Amino acid sequence: MERVLNKFLQDVKSGLDTDKKMTVVLGNEAADLDSMASAVTYAYFLKSKGFAENPVPVINIPINDFKLRTEAVFLFKEAGVDPANLISVDDIDLNALYGKGNLELILTDHNKIGAHQEKFKDAIVAILDHHADDGDYPPGIETDIRPVGSACTLVAERYLEKGNDLLDDSVATLLLGTILLDTVNLDIQAGRVKPEDEKAALALIEKKGIDREGLFEKLQFEKFNVSSLGSYDLLRKDYKEWNLGGKMCGIGSVLMPVNDWFKKDPDIVASFEKYRRERSLDVLLAMNAFTEPEFTRNLVVYVPDSGLREKLVSFLERSDLGLERLDTAGIKGAEKIDAYNQKNLGVSRKKLQPLLKEFFA
Ligand SMILES: [Mn+2]
């Protein structure tokens, strides 16, 4: 079935031209589902209602990273949008647009422009956001910054007020799915939902007859479903790095048991090495966590320098992490990698980082 939203994106993508004035609708640099869905649906609203001539929704990450947001992959597919039609920062030359005086920016899901895009700050013409107001944007621009649960609620309000005719299954699915995920299915206990979110979500459900529970459950499942990702993508999906006393140290958070991971990918060391090189790291760790049958943590330590590895491993083994060595037999290059069950469940990445800092000091 041809969806109008899909067609809109296709037309925008094929019409990108830095010699034309473009209104870039930009989500934040974390590019979570809310950022992507609000940018896409708001740009479509602006175009259809004639509020902007050339609105361009831009996903604020390289398109290669889109697949890491598994809940977004699911929801855009559910909404009938082909990911190939999405426009990312790779597809549009913001520098050229800005240089030619052809860039207008509308921010969604953030109100302080990202550090890498700071130079475009004076091109901001409007903001639609639900984060705390930083006030760090040109004076006098049009803003709607309210502490609701989801930026998509602010977009949905506009459709419900002025664009009911545009609310087809694609648009409604993107908006509703995002609001539900951001507010934990409108759950008061979770502390994220505001009356505006509930009002917008219930109106969408009533109009489109969408199965709320089904949609929420699928989204929640897909958010943590990493089965489509290879080792390299698993490492970078939720990743942080630090310079600790001159050594670069990175930790990926991976939501699956190490034993399953090793079984799935006996060539896992190659992926650790590829990512380590790409990030110029001395140390690359994976902290694995999973909840079935019970909450468990595993730790993988990858350090190609054998002298450094020996020292780090013995430091970690003597620490209060409660490490029990796991079998790495069958893994290619097993001598370069150490894997553990971490019995101290209280040590998250946030707490491991200062421990590593102490080691490198
Ligand atoms: Mn948001």
C-alpha to C-alpha distance for 318 and 314, rounded to whole angstroms:
6
pLDDT at 246: 93
**C-alpha 147 to ligand 1 mean position (Å):** 10
**C-alpha 330 to ligand 1 mean position (Å):** 43
Structure letter (DSSP) for residue 18:
T
**C-alpha 120 to ligand 1 mean position (Å):** 21
**C-alpha 149 to ligand 1 mean position (Å):** 7
Asked whether 143 and 111 are in contact (CB, 8 A), the reply is: yes
Give CA separation, 45 vs 49, 109, 143, 154, in Å: 6, 16, 17, 12
- CA dihedral of residues 131, 135, 140, 143 (deg, nearest 10): 0
**C-alpha 114 to ligand 1 mean position (Å):** 15
**C-alpha 186 to ligand 1 mean position (Å):** 15
CA 299 to centroid of chain Cα atoms: 23
Assess whether 304 and 219 both reside in one domain.
Answer: no
Q: Is the bond preceding 293 in cis, omega lying within 30 degrees of 0?
A: yes
**C-alpha 51 to ligand 1 mean position (Å):** 23
**C-alpha 148 to ligand 1 mean position (Å):** 9
Assess whether 131 and 215 both reside in one domain.
Answer: yes
C-alpha to C-alpha distance for 19 and 360, rounded to whole angstroms:
51
Assess whether 133 and 206 both reside in one domain.
Answer: yes
Structure tokens at 283: 């140390």
**C-alpha 193 to ligand 1 mean position (Å):** 12
**C-alpha 34 to ligand 1 mean position (Å):** 5
Which of 257, 260, 284, 259 is closest to 271 using CA atoms?
284
Assess whether 263 and 199 both reside in one domain.
Answer: no
C-alpha to C-alpha distance for 297 and 247, rounded to whole angstroms:
25
Select from 168, 190, 223 the last residue of a domain. 223
**C-alpha 13 to ligand 1 mean position (Å):** 24
Assess whether 192 and 236 both reside in one domain.
Answer: no
Instruction: Provide the domain count of the chain.
Output: 2
pLDDT at 2: 52
Assess whether 163 and 269 both reside in one domain.
Answer: no
**C-alpha 105 to ligand 1 mean position (Å):** 18
356: domain CATH number is 3.10.310.20
Three-class DSSP category at 21: coil
18: domain CATH number is 3.90.1640.10
**C-alpha 151 to ligand 1 mean position (Å):** 5
Assess whether 53 and 198 both reside in one domain.
Answer: yes
**C-alpha 300 to ligand 1 mean position (Å):** 32
Assess whether 212 and 323 both reside in one domain.
Answer: no
Assess whether 146 and 254 both reside in one domain.
Answer: no
**C-alpha 306 to ligand 1 mean position (Å):** 43
Strands (E) located in the chain = 22-26, 55-58, 103-108, 124-129, 142-145, 239-244, 247-254, 283-290, 296-302, 323-325, 337-342
**C-alpha 27 to ligand 1 mean position (Å):** 9
**C-alpha 357 to ligand 1 mean position (Å):** 32
pLDDT at 1: 43
Select from 223, 241, 256 the last residue of a domain. 223
**C-alpha 38 to ligand 1 mean position (Å):** 9
Assess whether 251 and 219 both reside in one domain.
Answer: no
Assess whether 37 and 178 both reside in one domain.
Answer: yes
Select from 223, 258, 274 the last residue of a domain. 223
Q: Look up the domain containing 268 and give its range.
A: 231-360
**C-alpha 252 to ligand 1 mean position (Å):** 23
Assess whether 257 and 168 both reside in one domain.
Answer: no
Kindly give the parts of the chain with pLDDT less than 70.
1-2
**C-alpha 266 to ligand 1 mean position (Å):** 38
**C-alpha 292 to ligand 1 mean position (Å):** 29
